[in-house]
Amino acid sequence: MVQKNIEDTGFIRDIKTLIEQSKQQISVAVNTAITTLYWSIGKKINEEILKDKRAEYGKCVVVSLAKQLEIEYGSGWSEKQLRHCLRFAEIMPEKEIVYTLCRQLSWSHIRILILWKIH
């Protein structure tokens, strides 16, 4: 019996396609989770701490929160990052819109749009 060379079939191509599709799905899922996390944090700070107002004490709260988060989770939770989260939640108040948006754009793209909207 002659052993069939799998390189001569579409078998390897099909396996590679499955792997690439899964990698893409994972990437979208991770981006969606991160982006909705940032939105949820911004919304929670806006609603529960700032009471949807830009009070002067809010600046101190955000600075304090950032310091606490940076101690526990690292430099990715700076005051600047939290302010991006706040703006994101202000600009995009509906979770359904956020979910749809983050399936199409990365957090980096969304952050650029937030900065563009502010200016």
Distance CA 4, CA 12 (A): 13
* pLDDT 10s digits, 69-107: 999 999 999 999 999 999 999 999 999 999 888 888 999
| Average pLDDT taken over every residue of the chain | 87
pTM: 0.80
Find out whether 91 and 117 touch, Cβ atoms under 8 Å. Answer: yes
Residue type, 14: D
Where are the strands (E) in 1-119, listed by range?
none
Tokens 């991006």 correspond to 84
* pLDDT 10s digits, 26-45: 999 999 999 999 999 999 99
Domains of the chain by residue range: 34-118
Find out whether 61 and 69 touch, Cβ atoms under 8 Å. Answer: no
